[in-house]
């Protein structure tokens, strides 16, 4: 089903989807009290590089699967996590991306948490006569406010983040009859061109989450179901020449499960 999704989207919009670019990490900055790890599946706000060669580029929900490990006090650095994610899938040029996260509470009541994530990776792929390769890296600063009383079972959290991504990308694609915008390549492909795009692209994001079973004493460290929304800037290419960046908006959903050491 996951591999079929990009193909279905391509049929619906009449264009190739290639080069998934998640604009946020989708990671929670709420600390866990004990060493453990988190696994996540998500569709996070972002865009495809193939949209950057369209007259009216659009955002998209980008698939990702992530794992983060937080050894915490075992290494004397509580709040530090390392791990990574796989973005997209083989049909649209998916790629792995390592991540490092730090998070901490800033008040005694543990209502407000802050943190940050840094990431970077390299992706490439080809489909229907089009291809891309991209090197990217970025940083994200986030905060999380618990909006309801502390509960063993259900809490409502509000969160927001600011991010900045550096991108260096290039690729081949087919032009329309006017020689300006990307279209699906014929068989054999005609009017193939090569273009480059690079720069720094900011994103602001926010959302609401339900934290479930977070304060139990066993190996279950809780779960999170979160809705994400984002607005940001993305590269734009007109007639194989990079132009001013365009604004995109997008939304997504993530599900995260945490497990680890039980309370002694």
**146-161: pLDDT as tens digits:** 999 999 999 999 999 9
DSSP run (H or E) holding 7: helix 4-13
Ramachandran class of 158: left when φ > 0, alpha when ψ lies in -120 to 50, beta otherwise: beta
Work out the percent of the chain whose per-residue pLDDT is above 90: 82
In whole angstroms, what is the distance from residue 2 CA to residue 86 CA? 13
Tell me the pLDDT band of 15, cut-offs 50, 70 and 90.
low
Nearest CA to 220 out of 262, 177, 164, 184 is that of 262
The confidence score (pLDDT) of residue 12 equals 32
Residues paired with 22 in a beta bridge: 46
The confidence score (pLDDT) of residue 186 equals 76
In whole angstroms, what is the distance from residue 196 CA to residue 168 CA? 8
Tell me the pLDDT band of 72, cut-offs 50, 70 and 90.
confident
What is residue 130's DSSP assignment?
Answer: E
Average pLDDT, the chain: 91
- Give mean pLDDT, residues 32-41: 93
Dump pLDDT digits (tens) for 87-135: 998 889 999 999 999 999 999 999 999 999 999 999 999 988 899 999 9
Ramachandran class of 17: left when φ > 0, alpha when ψ lies in -120 to 50, beta otherwise: beta
């Amino acid at each position: 089903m996951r591999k079929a999704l990009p193909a279905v989207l391509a049929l619906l919009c009449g264009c190739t989807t290639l080069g998934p670019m998640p604009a946020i990490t989708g990671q929670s900055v709420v600390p866990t009290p004990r060493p453990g790890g988190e696994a996540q599946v998500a569709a996070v706000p972002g865009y495809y590089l193939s949209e950057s060669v369209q007259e009216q580029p659009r955002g998209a929900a980008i698939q990702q699967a992530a794992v983060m490990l937080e050894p915490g006090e075992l290494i004397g650095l509580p709040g530090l996590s390392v791990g990574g994610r796989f973005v997209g899938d083989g049909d649209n040029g998916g790629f792995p991306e390592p991540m490092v996260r730090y998070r901490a509470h800033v008040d005694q009541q543990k209502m407000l948490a802050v943190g940050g994530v840094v990431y970077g990776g390299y992706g490439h792929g080809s489909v229907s006569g089009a291809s891309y390769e991209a090197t990217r890296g970025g940083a994200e600063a986030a905060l999380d406010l618990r909006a309801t009383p502390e509960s063993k079972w259900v809490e409502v959290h509000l969160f927001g983040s600011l991010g900045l991504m550096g991108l260096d990308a290039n690729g081949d694609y087919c032009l329309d009859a006017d020689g300006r915008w990307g279209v699906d390549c014929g068989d054999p492909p005609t009017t193939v061109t090569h273009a480059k795009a690079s720069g720094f692209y900011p994103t602001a994001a926010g959302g609401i989450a339900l934290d479930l079973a977070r304060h139990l004493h066993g190996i279950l460290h809780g779960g999170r179901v979160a809705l994400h929304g984002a607005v940001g800037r993305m590269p734009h290419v007109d007639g194989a020449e990079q132009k001013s960046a365009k604004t995109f908006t997008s939304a997504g959903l993530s599900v995260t499960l945490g497990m680890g050491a039980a309370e002694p």
